[in-house]
Amino acid sequence: MKAVKIVIGACLAMYAGVFIPAAQAQERQQDAQPEIAQQAPAQQAPARNLKLDGRALPLGGSLAAPHLWQQYKQRFVSPTGRVIDTANGLISHSEGQGYGMLLAVAANDRVAFERIWAWTRANLMVRDDQLVAWRWEPGQRPAVSDMNNATDGDILIAWALAEAAELWADVAHRASGRRIAVEIGRKLALFKTPHGALLLPGVSGFSTGDRADGPILNLSYYVFPAFARLGTVAPEIDWAGLSQSGLDHVKRARFGEAGLPTDWISLRDGQPKPADGFAPQFSYNAIRIPLYMAWAGLGDWEHYSAFHAWALGKRSLATVDVKTGRDVDRLQESGYASIGALLACAIDRTPAGPEFRTLRDAQHYYPATLHLIALAAANLRYQSCVKG
Distance CA 157, CA 159 (A): 5
Active site residue 27: no
In terms of Cα–Cα distance, which of 277, 299, 297, 285 is closest to 18? Answer: 285
The span from the CA of 252 to the CA of 263, in Å, is: 14
Type of residue numbered 378:
A
Q: Of the listed 137, 146, 152, 213, which one is catalytic?
A: 152
Q: Of the listed 85, 95, 163, 263, which one is catalytic?
A: 95
| 180 CB-near residues (< 8 Å, 6+ apart) | 130, 131, 132, 154, 157, 158, 161
Q: Are 369 and 339 in contact (CB under 8 A)?
A: no
95 is catalytic: yes
Question: Mind telling me the catalytic residues?
Answer: 95, 152
